[in-house]
Amino acid sequence: MQAQDRPQPKPGPAPTINVKKPETFTLKNGLKVMVVENHKLPRVSYTLTLDNPPYAEGDKKGVADLTSSMIGKGSKKISKDTFNEEVDFLGANISFSSNGANASGLSKYSGRILELMAEGALHPVFTQEEFDKEKAKLLEGIKSQEKSVTAVASRVENVLAFGKSHPSG
């Protein structure tokens, strides 16, 4: 096989990105809401962002990881299995972390998707059984990282870049 010798195509004009200015308002509970509408597709996306800086863990590293792994396992009103079945039935994606939540799906289910995301974020269930299971998984992950050259190199790089006293170090 022989390589083709063709000139590189000339670059075209940069595409125009039209991001609308968000509509901003504050709910009674103090939550600041920003809405950007785009009706080109029949989809909706929600993002909940919490101001949860890494130094909030203090000297207890792994709290955010443990919290992230446990949240989204149902709520006080909805069991884990029922929650997951309803999300699947709606064809939605809902994910949670210690820094917030994300949800997306079809616009016609937007109300229920937002309700499920809010329910999971505001009323998560943290059972001792789930805690023990997730803690064991995280500890096993830490043990396996001790043998990973890439993971060790990444930790050394972070200490050199940020210092030992920085949360990322």
Q: Which domains does the chain have, with CATH numbers?
A: 23-126 (3.30.830.10), 127-169 (no CATH)
CA distance 68 to 90: 23
pLDDT at 1 over 60: no
CA distance 119 to 13: 45
Q: What angle, 0 to 180 degrees and rounded to 10, lies between the N-to-C axes of helices 63-70 and 128-146?
A: 130
CA distance 140 to 143: 5
CA distance 145 to 17: 41
pLDDT at 104 over 70: yes
This prediction has a pTM of 0.71
pLDDT (mean) for 6-25: 88
pLDDT at 122 over 60: yes
* Mean pLDDT of the chain, nearest integer: 87
Q: Which is nearest to 97 in space by CA: 68, 119, 140? A: 68
For residue 17, the model assigns a pLDDT of: 85
For residue 54, the model assigns a pLDDT of: 63
